[in-house]
Each structure stands twice: as C-alpha cells, then as structure tokens.
Homo-oligomer: A and B are copies of this chain.
Amino acid sequence: MPDPTLPAEFALIARHFRPLAGPGALDLGDDAALLIPPPFRDLVLTVDAMVAGVHFLPDDPADLVGRKLLRVNLSDLAAKGATPLGYLMTVSVPRGTPDAWLAGFAAGLAADQAEFAITLLGGDTTSTPGPISLSLTAVGHVAPGRMVRRTGSRAGDGIWVTGTIGDGALGLAVAQGRLGDPTGHLLDRYRLPRPRLGVPIAGIASAGMDVSDGLVQDLGHLCRAARLGRAAGLQAEIEAALVPLSDAARAAGPDWLATCLTGGDDYELLLAVPPAREAALQQAAQAAGIPVTRIGSFRLGAPGVMVRDAGGQPISFDRPGWSHF
C-alpha cells in the first residue's frame, strides 16, 4: 500500500522497481548501491541510452522496451567476454504515463533478470516534458587482463560472427511497413536482441565487439582500432555469401542484402580469432548452442572493409551503418 506521507514518486518505485532489486540495491531505499566485487576479477562497465522515437517506437510493447534496454547492454558485456553482475537504470517518463506502461516495462526486466541471473542495483526515476528516456548501466566481471577489446585484431585472424546478420535491420523495415514478415521472425529479432552470453570468448578472440550499428561499419571499427604501429593498417575482407542469413532474411531477397550488411540492431558477436584458436571457438560455441560462422579474415592494408560478392567483385554501399547525427 502506498505510504500517503510519501510523494507518488516513491510509491511508483516501490510498486514497479523494488521487486527487481537485488541484495546490493538496499531495497532501492538508499542513495547508492553496494557492490562487493568478486575477488581477483576485473570489472567491465557499459551504458546505453534509449529514447522513444529514436531507439524504440512509441507503440512498442513496454515489456519489450525494458528487455531491449537491458539486452543491448548485456550484449556489450558478452562482446567483452564478461559475465553480468547487475545493473543501474534511469527512467524519465512524462507525467501521466499509464501505470500499465511502467508495469509492463518492469515485467520485461523481471523476465530477463531471471533469464540472465542478474538483479537491479539502483536507479533514478524522474519526470520529463519530452519522450520516455531511459538509460542503463550494466556491470560485469572477467578474469584479470582478459577483457576482449576492440584493439587486438591482427593480420591473419579469421573474422567470425555469431547467429545471423540483418534480421534486426529487416525487422525495423517490417515495423515501418516497408517489408513483409510472414513468420514474425524479423520483427521479433528487431524487438528482442539475444545477447550472446555463454560463449567464453575471453582467451579465444583477439578482439571483438557486438554488431549494433551495422556489420560493415562495426568491422571498420575493428580495423581502425587495431594497434599495429604507424607503418601498417588492417583491412578486413569478407565474402557476402558467407555472411549467415536467417531463412526470413533470405526470403526478403537480394534487394535487402545491403540492408542486412549495414543496417544494425543485430547484437551478434563480431570476433577476430587467430587461426590457432578457431577450433576452440567452434567447440565453445557448440557447447553453448550458439552458431558461429567464419566470414572472412584480416590482412595488412589500407584500414577499411572490403566486401566481395560471389564473383569476387567488391560491393560498395551508400552508407556503412547507422549514425544519430
């Protein structure tokens, strides 16, 4: 029962968010959360913001918004080889936001907390005169010195991805009415990322990231991030025909291939793996039940991404990926 002596803000937090709180959250009744870090582990921290009308559509189901907010951050932890510990969150909503929206949002988080074995550590709830604006900071841990960085790719490393590429971008096209989706697979992939936790890539991948802004653009990040000294750059060469597509993405036809390769919202892992460890990656992925596919390799050259078609010819794209500005 809401305490009538307390402002409505506290009742809202007690009703929707306190059930999500773990031990370190101190019932969300304190100024800060307590986190006793696992001994002899490095911490990995990541944060993402999501704004209605930019990162999700105003009529997206609230539970899926909550799950997506959490999962995009868990995907970052997965790409660093980290195991999630917990998260903090800010929720800014217009006055008069239906209680059902907040209940749905919290229900989505609750479902995913159970799935990923994490809890809410703390947060802040405010009003806003604008659209719903959310942020989430996720904390994970990894063996000392073993965080998978973007900087470690080397010439000769294989380029690997998990799962399938392009479903998220096609799902956005479905949500916007630009593409059909008879099985519902594409829309589901757009609305609900699958963070690829569970593949122990720390110690296997020499570099990695998650594919969130488009495969070609994100692969370019790995090239530019590689620290090879002044004299050399790293070039990624991939074969379009090797990029794993779902049945639904294949059914969309070749006109949508560029969207798949540049569209973003995949939340698959993109990894650089030295030849000597490619078998270890395959075994680890198989044990986790997560498909992995080799789509190309790195070599010395002008930094950038070369995508070849089935005939070996380079494919060019109007834009390599997604930008906010």
Contact = CB atoms under 8 A, between A and B. Distances in A.
A210 interface: yes
A129 B90 CA distance: 18
B29 A35 contact: no
A49 B131 contact: no
A258 interface: no
A62 to B, nearest CB: 17
B137 A324 contact: no
A178 B84 CA distance: 49
Contacts of A95: 325
Given A54-B127, A220-B5, A321-B7, A88 B137 contact: yes
A151 B27 CA distance: 11
Interface stretch (A75-83, A276-284, A307-315): A75-83
A149 B45 contact: no
A250 interface: no
Contact of A149 (B5, B26, B89): B26
Contacts of A137: 45, 47, 88, 137
A94 B80 CA distance: 31
A113 interface: no
Interface centre among A36, A88, A92 (most CB of B within 10 A): A92
Nearest to A55: B126
A30 B131 contact: no
Contact of A135 (B32, B131, B135, B322): B135
A312 to B, nearest CB: 24
A33 B210 CA distance: 14
A139 B122 CA distance: 12
Contacts of A35: 42-45
Interface residues of A, number: 76
Contact of A125 (B77, B123, B126, B324): B324
A247 interface: no
Interface string A206-236: 0001100000010011001100000000000
Interface string A1-20: 00101011110100000000
B90 A49 contact: yes
B127 A324 contact: yes
A38 B76 CA distance: 23
Contacts of A125: 324
Contacts of A291: none
Interface string A145-166: 0010111000000000000000
9 nearest A-B residue pairs (beta carbon)? A130-B130, A7-B323, A49-B90, A32-B46, A135-B135, A8-B325, A35-B43, A137-B137, A31-B76
29 contacts: A7-B322, A8-B325, A29-B150, A29-B151, A31-B80, A32-B44, A32-B76, A32-B147, A33-B44, A33-B46, A34-B42, A34-B43, A34-B147, A35-B45, A43-B43, A45-B139, A47-B88, A47-B123, A49-B91, A50-B126, A51-B92, A54-B92, A54-B126, A54-B128, A55-B126, A88-B137, A125-B324, A126-B324, A128-B130
